[in-house]
Structure 1
Amino acid sequence: MTTMETSTPSPAGPIAELVARARAAQRIYETWSQEQVDMAVTAAGWAIIEPTRNRELAELAVADTGVGNVEDKVAKNYRKTFGLLRDLKGARSVGVIADHPARGIIEIARPVGVVCAITPSTNPGATPANKIINALKGRNAVIVAPSPKGWSTAARLIEFIHAQFDRIGAPRDLVQLLPSPVNKQSTAELMRLCDLVVATGSQANVRAAYASGTPAFGVGAGNVAGIVDETADPALAADRIVRSKTFDNATSCSSENSLVVVDAARPALIAALEARGAVMLDGPQKAALQALMWPEGKLSPAVIGKSATQIAERAAEQDAAGREAWRAIAARKPRILMVAEDGVGHEHPYSGEKLSPVLAIYAARDFEDAASIVARIYAYEGAGHSVGLHSAKPERALTLGLTLPVSRVIVDQAHCIATGGSFDNGLPFSLSMGCGTWGKNNFSDNMNYRHYLNITRVSRPIPEQMPGEEEIFGAFFAQHGAA
């Protein structure tokens, strides 16, 4: 019996037909050797990394979604895909992948079947590519369900992948796309018919994936905070923060939304940020920007993925009283707009995720106070994701890891570059970061190819290893007796 025959639906409509074709292709693909699978993985990677195709996808993504900027999307498409290919090179995903003689256990990799990959408009090229490659590594078929705005980019990406598949003799139906127009009904049906759902994007999409009745991996909400303490080098910290916060116009869930700065570090850090193009807004400007960003209590598409300069220009159009000041700010071509904040919660929207180069600055008395402020922010939004730390005291990273509700502590790095894996850290390359139970997720890893595998374990008998009661209960009995 092949992998998913028992749950194969009878074609009864366009979505079911899509899944049926994927199952047929996957049954062929699951017979491929590790070498053949790795060739398919490499082909899919080359489909997006090749410079001309990469740029076309980046330009199409910005043109269709209005989010981010082309050069950063080119860099993201390349780095995230190339890094993933590095991670997968030599990794076993076919047949026996591990043997533990002392435990009598052999591990065998098996496909999960047909994967439904839900992807966001913020990364309409890089995220589908990442999920497709990981799914292929596990000998799965994959059907991409993109956001409506990202559909044409995903469609073009899959055209490129199919062309590479033709070169190596891989079935095109291993990688397919949910037909346009994408809507909640078609996505829900696809989730129901597939064998695994991997959802990246809005929390509404993640909740729908969890409620689909199909096993699902989803990611938590972003809203990263970074701490800068009194021991940090202000110039280096500012370099990293600006690089992270401006990359692709802060569309990443890993971009800092708040900086919590210890009082002793604040003057030098703010000066360093301003020297690198950040602008601190005054009280009236902060209020005017809030009205632009959250006109009805919900973050406006008018600012999502736009540059700080574009946001300042739009604020000038809307804020009649402050128009000249906004025009002066826009003329400086700011890279980041900063606002001083001290509150957290719905009444303080700057404490939440902004998906734009707007940064809330919190003041903290000391490191302990800074950690407490971050905990308050995450109690409102962003629990489980990650926290940044700029400090010369390595023990403080361990303190954050032991006490804050985060799956990652990113130390002295450009946060949005580092969190999803980088060539100078040990995290797996990924565009889907699990946030653990803090973020209402069932995993806390950077999502990787092992999440796209079933693993069968063969257990053989080994010499008995049963301990005595004294070994188990001795310390307990010594302290509390054997009653």
Structure 2
Amino acid sequence: MNNSSEFEEVDLLVKKARIAQEKFERQGSQQLFDLACQAVGWALMEPEHNQRLAKLAVKETGLGNVSDKIKKNHNKTLGLLRDIKGVKSFGHVSEDEELGLSLYLRPKGVVAAIVPSTNPLATPVNNIINALKCGNSIIVAPSPKGVRPLRELLSIIHHNLSLIGVDQDLVQMVPMPPTKGKTNRLMQLADMLVVTGSQNNVKAGYSSGTPALGVGQGNVVTIIDETADIEDAAAKISVSKTFDNATSCSSENSVITIDTVYEEVVGSLCSEGGLVLSEEEGSRLTDIHWKNGKMTTDLLAQDIDVIIDKVDLKDRASKDTKFLIFPTNKAGATEVVCGEKMSRFLTLYKVKNISEAIELALKIQEYQGSGHSIGIHTKNYERAHEIAMKAKTCRVIVNQAHCFATGGFFNNGLPFSLSMGCGSWGGNSIDGNLNWEHFVNKVRVVKTIKENKPELIEVFGDFWKETSK
């Protein structure tokens, strides 16, 4: 198909989305917007749908595992619907008499969402719900491997929307087969972009000329200090590292521990299913997972038995082995092993004290993961605050299973999301979890108030006093 034909397909798609969005906004009902969100959420969360779609996603992408995909689809969608329940996201929302300001919320318009193959169901649903909550329409551009799961999901969404009289053109996907040409055209025509996935896609979004919300690369480093509950930390790291075969950008990639508790940490991680590699085994693993500095697909989000077989560890692994541990001191821009892995293994580092731990975490994330998140297991909460002021990170996760906590969970206060902004440190325009507030335009009605003009002494007094000494 030539570019002209591709453009015509996308142009028609956007035209239909714009007509549907304008009608949706004219109806102007928060109740209708919220009902549409529920229709989308139930399309994925209904147990039979969830199971069927999760199986299809794993089959088509070859990434993750079915049981965890089902849990992810359920919890991420349930949590998002909890977050937005009762929230007013359209129309007149506040009045400040003192400042003479009235605040109104309006939709962005047509949203384009570029979504990854690692989460071909949960991420689109999150984006769709956030878009509809605020009166937008949305067009989803999946990865090639995510096409079939998304197409099946959209058929259910369209059915649910029809039950409540909502136009199906509010939620569409790029025509099959997806191509870079179609996606680029969509990026140019949409009113706003949401880009989750490869950093190449994020850069393309930012350079498209359309306002874009991109998210940074994850490369989670977690510190275990000498005050931590070691068994609890190991259990949480194990469940987080292995969940959905480490497809999450928030899965632990490197663990740094203080030397006085190093052996206890190793023992506890092994008790939770870890297998410690020798230097030779670690080198073998590294050579398989990266070629010329780039991650391969050989071990990417694969079951542990596949990894054990390819790294030739069948004689060493047991039926209880869940993930691999590679002790190393290699870190920095020339050491790929300290980078993001998206596989069931992590690197383990030993340092003398918390200062060295923080310094090493910064070194690792200067290579990959700036702005995303750092974890710490500790009973000394001041150390979390120290990290907040020293590290270039937008989240410090304390005593939690990282892959669940970073995207919001039922026991912390972060918004449920699958897209984590990394601020200027990660080259992003947002530094928080992507949520409904990013899908609205804010309109302010401004009235005059009593003049509040300060005297010069009020604003320059401290400076004048300091410089007159």
Query: TM-score of the superposition, structure 1-length normalised?
Result: 0.94
* 1:399-441 Cα shifts (integer Å, max 9, x gaps): 1111100000000000010000011000000000000000000
Match of 2:8 in 1: 13
Match of 1:435 in 2: 422
Match of 2:410 in 1: 423
Structure 2 gap ranges (5+): 1-5
After TM superposition, give the deviation of residue 297 of structure 1 in Å. Answer: 3.0
User: Equivalent pairs: percent with the same residue?
Assistant: 45
Q: Contact 2:223–2:357 (CA<8 Å) still a contact in 1?
A: yes
Distance 1:12 1:379 in 2: 39
1:261-280 correspondence runs (5 A): 261-280=257-276
* 1:104-156 Cα shifts (integer Å, max 9, x gaps): 11111111110110000000000000000001011000000000001111111
- Tell me, yes or no, if structure 1 residue 176 matches structure 2 residue 163: no
Match of 1:285 in 2: 281
1:94-109 correspondence runs (5 A): 94-109=90-105
In structure 1, the residue corresponding to 2:316 is in which secondary structure? helix
Structure 1 gap ranges (5+): 1-10, 317-325
* Amino acid in structure 1 at the alignment position of 2:374: V
Match of 1:480 in 2: 467
Match of 2:3 in 1: none
Distance 1:348 1:461 in 2: 59
Correspondent of 1:300 among 275, 296, 301? 296
In structure 1, the residue corresponding to 2:253 is in which secondary structure? strand
- Tell me, yes or no, if structure 1 residue 211 matches structure 2 residue 198: no
Q: Contact 1:278–1:335 (CA<8 Å) still a contact in 2?
A: yes
In structure 1, the residue corresponding to 2:310 is in which secondary structure? helix
Distance 1:296 1:348 in 2: 11
Q: Contact 1:310–1:330 (CA<8 Å) still a contact in 2?
A: no
Q: Contact 2:39–2:160 (CA<8 Å) still a contact in 1?
A: yes
After TM superposition, give the deviation of residue 210 of structure 1 in Å. Answer: 0.6
Match of 1:6 in 2: none
Match of 1:413 in 2: 400
Correspondent of 2:443 among 456, 466, 470? 456
After TM superposition, give the deviation of residue 180 of structure 1 in Å. Answer: 1.5
Distance 1:57 1:333 in 2: 29
1:378-393 correspondence runs (5 A): 378-393=365-380
Match of 2:36 in 1: 40
After TM superposition, give the deviation of residue 331 of structure 1 in Å. Answer: 3.9
Q: Contact 1:54–1:74 (CA<8 Å) still a contact in 2?
A: yes
* Amino acid in structure 2 at the alignment position of 1:460: K
* Amino acid in structure 2 at the alignment position of 1:445: G
Distance 1:333 1:12 in 2: 52
Q: Contact 2:240–2:401 (CA<8 Å) still a contact in 1?
A: yes
Distance 1:224 1:116 in 2: 28
* 1:257-299 Cα shifts (integer Å, max 9, x gaps): 0001111121111110101110110011111111211144321
Q: Contact 1:309–1:333 (CA<8 Å) still a contact in 2?
A: no
Match of 1:27 in 2: 22
Q: Contact 1:434–1:446 (CA<8 Å) still a contact in 2?
A: yes
* Amino acid in structure 2 at the alignment position of 1:428: P
* 1:158-192 Cα shifts (integer Å, max 9, x gaps): 11110100110000000001012111111000111
Distance 1:12 1:199 in 2: 20
Judge which range, 295-304 or 239-248, deviates more: 295-304
Judge which range, 93-102 or 70-79, deviates more: 93-102
- RMSD value, Cα: 1.3
Correspondent of 1:140 among 132, 136, 142? 136
Q: Contact 1:308–1:333 (CA<8 Å) still a contact in 2?
A: no
Distance 1:166 1:44 in 2: 11
1:341-380 correspondence runs (5 A): 341-380=328-367
* Amino acid in structure 2 at the alignment position of 1:255: S
Match of 2:229 in 1: 233
Match of 1:243 in 2: 239
State the number of aligned residues: 463
In structure 2, the residue corresponding to 1:143 is in which secondary structure? strand
Match of 2:383 in 1: 396
Distance 1:274 1:327 in 2: 16
Distance 2:198 2:291 in 1: 20
Q: Contact 2:7–2:182 (CA<8 Å) still a contact in 1?
A: no
* Amino acid in structure 2 at the alignment position of 1:351: C
Match of 2:77 in 1: 81
* Amino acid in structure 1 at the alignment position of 2:213: F
Distance 1:105 1:265 in 2: 56
Distance 2:102 2:244 in 1: 44
After TM superposition, give the deviation of residue 328 of structure 1 in Å. Answer: 2.0
Q: Contact 1:19–1:193 (CA<8 Å) still a contact in 2?
A: yes
* 1:209-248 Cα shifts (integer Å, max 9, x gaps): 0111111010111111001100001011111111111111
Distance 1:313 1:405 in 2: 38
Query: TM-score of the superposition, structure 2-length normalised?
Result: 0.97
